Amino acid sequence: MIHKISSKRLSFNDLHHINQNVTELELATDSIAVIQKCRDYLDKNFGKTNSTPTYGINTGFGSLCNTQIHKDHLTQLQHNLIMSHACGTGEEVSEQIVKWMLFLKIQSLSYGHSGVSVKLVQRLVDFYNHGVYPIIYEQGSLGASGDLAPLAHLALPLIGLGEVSYQGKRYTGEEINSIKGWESLQLQSKEGLALINGTQFMLAYGVFLSLESQNLWYWSHITAALSLDGFSCNMSPFDERIHLIRPHKGQLKSASIIRDLLENSEIAADDKENVQDPYSFRCTPQVHGATKDTLDHVVKTILTECNSVTDNPNVFPDSDTIISGGNFHGQPLALALDFLSIAMSEIASISERRTFQLMSGTRGLPPFLCKNAGLNSGMMILQYTAASIVSQNKHLANPSSTDSIVSSNGQEDHVSMGANAATKAHKIIDNIKTVLAIELLTSSQAIDFQDKQTSSFLKSIVSLLRNTVPFYEEDRVMYGDIRLARELIEFTSLDQELLN
């Protein structure tokens, strides 16, 4: 499916649609027009004579901003910028994230305030459409003057340098241009800076993780509802009346989802001997709901950034103005990604506590959810694994945005560390999938020990799990069970309406 890049504001549903369905991009006519208009403005004012020093166009960069560059060297200036800034290191960024980086860079350049050529933007579109993904590394960005290092790696293949991944193989920038019949670009004034200024590295993570988090947030209710029935919990904490007198939007939504998931459950409807349940069960709406409210805030920030121009300087042809500012600074994303990490790590934290309670050998359940416990250790170590991951998440959730290190000879004296916030959040979200998978395994096992039936929907979830993971009769190797349960969570599509 083709998506047209235009000035139309992107919604979260648009991002979900692009993630699931879009295979090709196309520049809309209005985008081509404004890109060309902005480029024509720069060519007219900086193409023929040495002009007034203007940052990023005919000057050096960072603390070299006062060094004027001759008009004959403007192309070399831009190429030098890309080459010198490609200092990424660490693990390679996944193709999923690189694909989002391409999309978001194209979108930002298409608003007509960056001064790039249509040819350059079209080449990025070609990369996206042909599945040519530049090799980018996780480490190197301070999230301040844009994601300089990762975006430099994104740009290298445009000028025939760097490396790309294409159809499962690795090629140099020169090789991929030869294979595709593309000429390496000769960057014009401002184009190199427009490519590496911007927040598209941390923003790509933000988009991807927002989509993942929405899905995991709903799945956390499925595993929680299974645990509620598996542990024979009361339904009174989910009564709408108590949530209406503390009407946080996320809390109301969370309680409603739990009620829906447990509709027609014989276990839920049954009278209980236990007067109260542990917090990890009865406070699910309050904890999950607070995370949902945080997710809504994060998504709002992400969407604003998706619909923004974040390079510098910005060109305004209609008012004959070039303004140097700081739209590249990643502070909004750094704070949002840190907030996302904290909120989502709580989803794993409370999930692990429910898993712990299911192991207790109370409420009619055998110790460690296994018959003949003693000879069999049962599911004991599943909780250990979840606890280990939750502990790691607590460390990773410590904010990156509270740190700043001076760079560029003091010119860039406050940085966001948003890139570090992004990569840490990525690990946290990945960890949560495993913790929820473990709760899915243990809660489904607990359900199978119940005399009465859970809801029809939850029975279908247990049935899906049992297609690949059998009931735990006696001790067996379990790492494969975790992997299969995790795949069920990752690859089972949920109705988007449930997530809103």
Average pLDDT of span 349-374:
95
Domains 2-198 and 205-499 share a fold: no
- pLDDT for 48 equals 61
Torsions phi, psi for 146 (to 5 deg): 80, 175
Q: Assess whether pLDDT exceeds 90 at residue 493.
A: no
- pLDDT for 46 equals 81
- The distance from CA 405 to its chain's CA centroid, rounded to whole angstroms, is 25
Q: Assess whether pLDDT exceeds 90 at residue 32.
A: yes
pLDDT tens per residue across span 163-190: 999 999 999 999 999 999 999 999 999 9
Question: Residue 388, SS3?
Answer: helix
C-alpha pair distances (Å), 135 with each of 78, 146, 188, 418, 425? 20, 18, 23, 20, 21
Question: Residue 223, SS3?
Answer: helix
pLDDT tens per residue across span 113-123: 999 999 999 99
pLDDT tens per residue across span 241-253: 999 999 999 999 9
pLDDT tens per residue across span 38-75: 999 999 888 665 567 788 788 877 667 677 888 778 88
Token pair in block for residue 297: 């805030």
The chain-wide mean pLDDT, for the chain, equals 94
Average pLDDT of span 384-410:
95
Q: Show me where the domains of the chain are located.
A: 2-198, 205-499
Place of tokens 């994230």: 97
Q: Domain 2-198: give its CATH code.
A: 1.10.275.10
Model confidence band, residue 411 (pLDDT cutoffs 50, 70, 90): confident
**Whole-angstrom distance, CA of residue 352 vs CA of residue 440:** 11
**Whole-angstrom distance, CA of residue 337 vs CA of residue 199:** 13
pTM check: above 0.85: yes
Multiple choice CATH, 205-499, 1.20.58.100, 3.90.1170.40, 1.10.150.530, 1.20.200.10: 1.20.200.10
Question: Residue 183, SS3?
Answer: coil
What are the catalytic residues? 55
Model confidence band, residue 474 (pLDDT cutoffs 50, 70, 90): very high
- pLDDT for 481 equals 98
pLDDT tens per residue across span 379-396: 999 999 999 999 999 999
- pLDDT for 242 equals 98
Task: Report the candidate in 203, 197, 423, 202 with the shortest Cα–Cα distance to residue 303.
Answer: 203
Q: Assess whether pLDDT exceeds 70 at residue 498.
A: no
- pLDDT for 95 equals 97
In 3-state terms the chain splits into helix, strand, coil percentages (rounded to 5) of: 60, 10, 35
**Whole-angstrom distance, CA of residue 88 vs CA of residue 67:** 26
pLDDT tens per residue across span 335-360: 999 999 999 999 999 999 999 999 99
Average pLDDT of span 403-424:
91
- pLDDT for 49 equals 58
Please tell me the least confidently modeled range out of 37-51, 226-240, 288-302, 477-491: 37-51
Model confidence band, residue 440 (pLDDT cutoffs 50, 70, 90): very high
